[in-house]
Amino acid sequence: MIKTLKTLGFMAAAGFSLAAFMAAPYAAAQGELLKRKTVEETILENLHKARPDINFGQPRPSMIKGLYQVQVPGGPVLYVTPEGDKFIAGEIFGIDSTGFAKIEDPYVIEERKKALASLDSKNSINFKPKGKAKAVVYVFTDIDCGYCRKLHSQMHTYNEGGQQKPGYNDLGIEIRYLAYPRAGIPSPSADKLISTWCAKDKQDAMTKLKSDQAVPNATCDNPVAAQFQLGGQLGVNGTPALFLPDGKLMPGYLPPEDLAKTLGI
């Protein structure tokens, strides 16, 4: 009887030790899983180590299988390896029997639409058609940008080569300006935009400044810095940058009639 009790006690002790022994590596493995970085964390960590001065966007799977995309505010989209050790900067093109065509990520387009839909029209400087607008186009603009000035000069009927042509508003396109000082903040360009947004008549101030006329310097609580940051997040890296109602970005100037055709109006 004593021998049996001793045996049972040994077995119990052995069983406890065995359970503890088996639990130890399991607990260690769980700890390792908790410590292990996600792909997104690895990518961001490596990018920030290489360029701590850049506030990179959040990584997400790209349209190219195996790569993640990261938006550089005010710069290109980076297509990064899961290890975060290499990237490609550029645009994605589709290949088919008709040739090459630029492809925009549907996720990015949808995010742009949401961002622009959330904007208060009171914070943009709007140039509306006389009648009901057929389409609304957001334009990130800079006062000193040559093509921004050309775009603005064609808001209404304009002369080209001796021929009168309809402007954006004449074609039913409402232009909503957002601020994007290319020189950054602070800068003389930013100051001009701030004076525009703080003017009593914002449309008049915009028109005067874009035709090299002076307007009084003004400061107020304004959205210039926030819009500059938003532009960078949406992929703007130059002006003018046109955002269409479907969320597509068209960098650069587009004549009124060409823009109307693109919009299908």
The per-residue pLDDT for range 154-190, each reduced to its tens digit, is 999 999 999 999 999 999 999 999 999 999 999 999 9
| CB within 8 Å of 20: residues ≥ 6 apart | none
pLDDT band at 8 (very low <50, low <70, confident <90, very high): very low
β-bridge partners, 101 = 94
Share above pLDDT 70 across residues of the chain, in percent, rounded to a whole number: 86
Reported as a single tens digit per residue, the pLDDT across 44-57 is 999 999 999 999 99
Ranges assigned E (strand) in the chain: 60-61, 68-71, 77-80, 87-89, 92-96, 99-103, 125-127, 135-141, 158-160, 163-165, 173-179, 241-243, 249-251
C-alpha dihedral sign at 90, 56, 74, 138: positive
CA-only gyration radius of the chain, Å: 29
Q: Which letter does DSSP use for residue 89 in this model?
A: E
pLDDT in tens, 98-122: 999 989 889 889 999 999 999 999 9
Q: Is the pLDDT of residue 196 over 50?
A: yes
Report the Cα 206 to chain-centroid distance in Å: 25
Helices assigned H by DSSP within 118-264: 146-153, 188-197, 202-209, 224-233, 256-263
Chain-wide mean pLDDT for the chain?
89
d(CA 262, CA 167): 15
Q: What's residue 90's pLDDT?
A: 87
Count Cβ neighbours within 10 Å for each residue of 91-101 and write b for 16 or more, e otherwise: ebeeeeeeeee
Structure tokens at 137: 């186009």
Between CA 29 and CA 21 the distance in angstroms is: 13
What pLDDT band is residue 142 in, cutting at 50, 70 and 90?
very high
Spatial neighbors of 242 by CB under 8 A, at least 6 apart, are 137, 138, 139, 249, 250, 251, 252, 254, 259
Supply φ then ψ for residue 7, to 5 degrees.
Answer: -65, -45
pLDDT digits 0-9 by tens, 23-81: 445 444 444 444 468 999 999 999 999 999 999 999 999 999 999 999 999 888 999 99
For residues 188-212, average pLDDT: 98
In contact, 135 and 245? CB cutoff 8 Å:
yes
What SS3 class is residue 178?
strand
Residue 19 has pLDDT above 70, yes or no: no
Query: CA-CA distance, 130 to 122, in Å (whole number)?
Result: 18
Give the pair of three-digit tokens for residue 141. 């603009």
**Structural domains of the chain, with CATH:** 39-103 (3.10.450.70), 110-263 (3.40.30.10)
Structure confidence at residue 36 (pLDDT): 65
240-257: pLDDT as tens digits: 999 999 999 999 999 999
